């Protein structure tokens, strides 16, 4: 375990095909599935709660179960920012008990921006179980290779910070909607 604080557990695991680690986050949050899905598909609002999001814009929303967006992540100097074209597929087939969401990236989904490194490997999986009392148990697993010249050992040193901060912000956002 990398971190356990405020009801958020962050784990990491070495991936077999790279020196980068995958991250798993577990948390129980207040709110309902409609609120969560609204946050995950209202792309312009993500800048307020997804850690270090510098720029984000909707590319395509083909239905209430699929969304594609551009996301730029702010990295400290001397590193260049990273961007990705993320596609989320929302599977509601198991409602009311749980839903699953899969996120992947398309490195060629939009023109590259000068001075920004395009992420070519990103896989994220969400599993949201509905609990009693307007609560959800969320398990989020992500693997990403940030590309460019960031050594894996440096990336892995800070692997828990972004997901932890994102979940702290997600909980705050859900509570503000819930009021």
Do 30 and 172 touch, CB atoms closer than 8 A?
no
Q: Which domains does the chain have, with CATH numbers?
A: 3-178 (3.30.530.20)
The answer to whether 105 touches 86, Cβ cutoff 8 Å, is yes
Taking the C-alpha atoms of residue 98 and residue 94, their distance in angstroms, rounded to an integer, is 5
User: For residue 179, is pLDDT > 80?
Assistant: no
Contact 144, 29 (CB under 8 A): no
- Give the model's pLDDT for residue 131: 94
The pTM of the whole model exceeds 0.85: yes
**pLDDT for residue 96 is more than 80:** yes
């Amino acid at each position: 375990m990398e971190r356990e604080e405020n009801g958020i557990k962050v784990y990491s695991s070495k991936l077999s095909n790279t020196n980068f680690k995958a991250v798993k986050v577990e948390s129980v949050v207040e709110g309902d599935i409609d609120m969560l899905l609204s946050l995950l598909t209202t792309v312009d609002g993500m800048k307020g709660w997804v850690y270090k999001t510098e720029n984000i814009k909707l590319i395509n929303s083909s239905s209430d179960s699929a969304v594609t967006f551009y996301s730029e992540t702010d990295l400290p100097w001397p590193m260049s920012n990273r961007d990705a074209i993320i596609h989320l597929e929302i599977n509601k087939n198991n409602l009311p008990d749980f839903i699953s969401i899969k996120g992947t990236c398309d490195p060629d989904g939009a023109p590259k921006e000068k001075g920004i490194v395009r992420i070519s490997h990103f896989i994220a999986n969400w599993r949201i179980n509905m609990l009693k009392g307007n609560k959800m148990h969320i398990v989020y697993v992500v693997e990403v290779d940030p590309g460019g010249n960031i050594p894996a050992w440096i990336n892995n040193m800070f692997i828990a910070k972004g997901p932890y901060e994102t979940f702290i912000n997600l909980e705050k956002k859900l509570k503000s909607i819930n009021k």
